[in-house]
Amino acid sequence: AYTETQIEQMKKDDMRYFLHPTSSIFDMESWGGPKIIEEGNGIRVKSVEGEIYIDCGAGLWLNNVGYGRTELAEVAKKQMEKLFYFQTFNGYSHPLAIEMAKKVAEMIPMDNPRIFFTSGGSESNDTAFKLARMYWYLQGKPNKNHIIARTKAYHGVSYGALSATSLPGFWDGFRPLVPAFQHIEHPHCYFCPWGKEQGSCNLECAEALEEKILELGQDNVAAFTAEPVIGTGGAIVPPKGYYQRIREICDKYDVLFIADEVITGFGRTGKMFGMLHWGVKPDIMMMAKGITSGYIPMGAVGISERVFTLIRNHGIFMHGYTYSAHPVACAVALKNIEIIERENLVANAHEKGKLLRSLIRDLDLPCIGEVRGLGLMNAVQLVQDTETRTMFNSALGIAKRVSAIAWENGLALRPLIDDGLQLSPPLIITEADIIELVDKLGRSIEQAQ
Ligand code: PLP
């Protein structure tokens, strides 16, 4: 345990030396420093002050198996001692990279895929975009280079991934972006941009892809990329039929379909991969986060036979990261996937997600507009008026206030843009935990109004 003086010094040192990713420095100053977490167990974390919080966000949507898994620490230690690293460039390999590639290839909903390894989601996205462009380049179609993404997408922050991302603030100061990226409106029935009601529309959100391809010219479009369920943009689930129609449009215009399963992969949505909800196979798939439950950085890209064949005939993919297929990451990932399978965490995500959404709806609070999600990838939409679905005035205002109060009530709860609250706990969550979480959430929302 730390003394009050030590904690104060730590906060000062943090503010003095540490530039945080995507954190308001003004907010941190007003709190007198960051919230410092030092321990985790199951779905809970402990601050340096000794307070316990339910982790409503699974870290950053990544912790599927929960905190404190000694099994994962043990395999990491063993692998570090045996062979902490060797390159997989230049024709080298190691047994766990081979085992991991085989494991992932056999799990993902793709035809006869090959697996490329990265250290995280942004790298997986850049890899996927480069593969898509190379695929057309190798067919003598270098102009087929536009990649279409969607508003509210989050694909990461490296330049390629950032150019696909479309959330407020992320582009400010970083333009020009990679010009090949284009965006169409994302699907969200509750706030349908076409003013339609779910079930009585013509999937205008999917047709928007066809319009964009025609606008750019099919000979100029390489790929369409989407998160199966939009994550950071608000846990937004598309309407029935959306991805089937997207796949048809991609096939009609010879455009690759790329699925960013960085959050949805490895069980979070109540199926092992998000696209399994729609039975649609992507040509390229990005993974990260849940692949190791975040115990160690790792990402992967699934490459369908269609795309791989071109690379294979060309003979080389001139792309790679020093840490691609890091042996320790492979060891942790294999054990993590074993735990997800052994403990039926995918089924638990499905069941507990349903319970979570239903208990939040039962709170029947006047400012809860929509409770949405799949499995344990959920958001609560706060609105000023549920009849007209009018949002509160200030972006982040109410959700930020709820989060601040929730912290006092024992929840580490993150506001999402446009008055959303992220509810994506580790997949090991129990019924009793859900009841406690919803009770604390309800009280926090009431106190914030
Ligand atoms: N893609 C999606 C869908 C994500 O949610 C994220 C991160 O939240 C990324 C990509 C970027 O991953 P990373 O932060 O590991 O680079």
Same domain, 320 and 351: no
Same domain, 328 and 262: yes
| End-to-end alpha carbon distance in the chain | 36
- pLDDT 10s digits, 16-60: 999 999 999 999 999 999 999 999 999 999 999 999 999 999 999
Same domain, 207 and 257: yes
* pLDDT above 60 for 285: yes
- pLDDT 10s digits, 239-253: 999 999 999 999 999
pLDDT of residue 396: 56
Same domain, 116 and 216: yes
Of the ranges 82-96, 113-127, 388-402, 422-436, which one carries the lowest mean pLDDT score? 388-402
Residue 197 lies in a domain: yes
For the chain, what is the radius of gyration of the CA atoms?
Answer: 22
pLDDT of residue 443: 98
Residue to mutate (ligand 1; options 152, 262, 416; most atoms within 8 A of CB): 262
Distance 177 CA to ligand 1 centre (A): 18
pLDDT of residue 449: 84
Report the percent of the chain where pLDDT is more than 90.
97
Q: How far apart are CA 97 and CA 260, in angstroms?
A: 22
* Cis-peptide into 142, omega within 30 deg: no
Ligand 1 atom closest to Cα of 288? 15
* pLDDT above 90 for 134: yes
pLDDT of residue 384: 93
Q: What mean pLDDT do residues 289-301 have?
A: 98
Range(s) of the domain holding residue 381: 35-65+344-448
Q: What mean pLDDT do residues 341-370 have?
A: 97
In this structure, the strands spanning 52-55 and 411-412 are parallel
Same domain, 202 and 245: yes
**Residue 263 CB less than 6 A away from ligand 1:** yes
pLDDT of residue 394: 66
Q: pLDDT band at residue 363, thresholds of 50, 70 and 90? A: very high
- pLDDT 10s digits, 384-412: 999 999 988 765 589 999 999 999 999 99
* pLDDT above 80 for 62: yes
Same domain, 274 and 323: yes
- pLDDT 10s digits, 165-189: 999 999 999 999 999 999 999 999 9
Q: How far apart are CA 425 and CA 72, in angstroms?
A: 19
**Residue 126 CB less than 6 A away from ligand 1:** no
Residue 236 lies in a domain: yes
Report the percent of the chain where pLDDT is more than 70.
99
Residue 417 φ/ψ, nearest 5 degrees: -65, 160
Token pair for residue 372?
Answer: 């949405």
Ligand 1 atom closest to Cα of 153? 3
ipTM attached to this prediction: 0.99
Q: Whose CA is nearest to atom 2 of ligand 1?
A: 155
Residue 15 lies in a domain: no
Question: Which of 326, 342, 358 is the last residue before a domain boundary?
Answer: 342
Q: How far apart are CA 220 and CA 61, in angstroms?
A: 34
pLDDT of residue 103: 98
pLDDT of residue 262: 99
Ligand 1 atom closest to Cα of 289? 15
pLDDT of residue 84: 98
Question: Which of 301, 323, 342 is the last residue before a domain boundary?
Answer: 342
**Residue 156 CB less than 6 A away from ligand 1:** yes
Same domain, 279 and 166: yes
DSSP 282-313: -SEEEE-GGGTTTSS--EEEEE-HHHHHHHHH
Q: Domain containing 359 — which CATH number?
A: 3.90.1150.10
Residue 429 lies in a domain: yes
Same domain, 116 and 237: yes
Residue 20 lies in a domain: no
Same domain, 60 and 131: no
Distance 121 CA to ligand 1 centre (A): 4
Residue 8 lies in a domain: no
Indicate the average pLDDT of the chain.
97
Domain count, the chain: 2
Give the contacts of 230 (CB within 8 A, at least 6 positions apart). 150, 152, 153, 154, 186, 188, 236
Q: Domain containing 215 — which CATH number?
A: 3.40.640.10
**Residue 65 CB less than 6 A away from ligand 1:** no
- Chain centroid to Cα 333, Å, comes to 17
Same domain, 130 and 232: yes
pLDDT of residue 199: 83
pLDDT of residue 395: 56
pLDDT of residue 341: 98
Q: Which residue has the tokens 């997949």?
A: 427
Question: Which of 286, 318, 342 is the last residue before a domain boundary?
Answer: 342
Burial 38-54 (b: 16+ CB within 10 A, else e): eebebbbbebbeeeebb
Same domain, 282 and 371: no
Three state DSSP letters for 188-207: CHHHCCCCCCCCCCCCHHHH
E strands present in 330-445:
368-374, 377-382, 411-412, 414-416, 420-423
Residue 325 lies in a domain: yes
Contact indicator for 283, 258 with CB cutoff of 8 Å: yes
pLDDT of residue 1: 86
Same domain, 348 and 429: yes
Residue 16 lies in a domain: no
